[in-house]
Amino acid sequence: MKISPEIEDNHSNRVTPNPIPNLEVKTITSFVLVTDKLRSSDVVFHYFYKRCLCGCIMKSKLSKQEIQAKIREFFEDVENKTPKQVKKIKKLAMSKNISLKEKRKSFCKKCLVAFKNPKTRIRNKIKSVTCRNCRYISRWKLK
């Protein structure tokens, strides 16, 4: 189908301007679909990119055991970590449904800063830890 200088829409009085040259235009009821004609050089490039480059450069997915090892290593020195790093580790653990259990109590739930010298209180079998950074109070039941 050849491109006409202007394409009329049958459902309204609007006139759609001529699309970019080298494009094939198909009209379907109330909207216009524009599809790109792929040249042989484009096809070769996409094949090369998808098959060769993506396999070599892109990250491979981590297994559950590798993620657990990474989490263990991270929480050995959690005091020197930034909130962005804590957020990434939490997201990584959630991606494989790994619970952090007692490790999640080593940083603030709200601002994700590691507890360095928190204000800790125990009352009626409930431990309250106040974050020095944002003043949020985390509460946990004692067993």
d(CA 120, CA 117): 9
Position 61 scores a pLDDT of: 84
Position 13 scores a pLDDT of: 64
Alpha-helical runs (H) found in 1-143: 40-48, 54-57, 64-76, 83-95
Q: How far is CA 90 from CA 64, 109, 129, in A?
A: 14, 11, 20
| pTM for this prediction | 0.56
Position 109 scores a pLDDT of: 92
Position 34 scores a pLDDT of: 45
With a cut of 50, which residues of the chain have pLDDT below it?
A: 29-35
Sequence-ordered list of residues with C-beta below 8 angstroms from that of 7, at least 6 positions apart, any chain: 15, 16, 18, 25, 27, 32
The token duo for 107 is 């940083």
CA angle 89, 98, 142 (to 5 degrees): 95
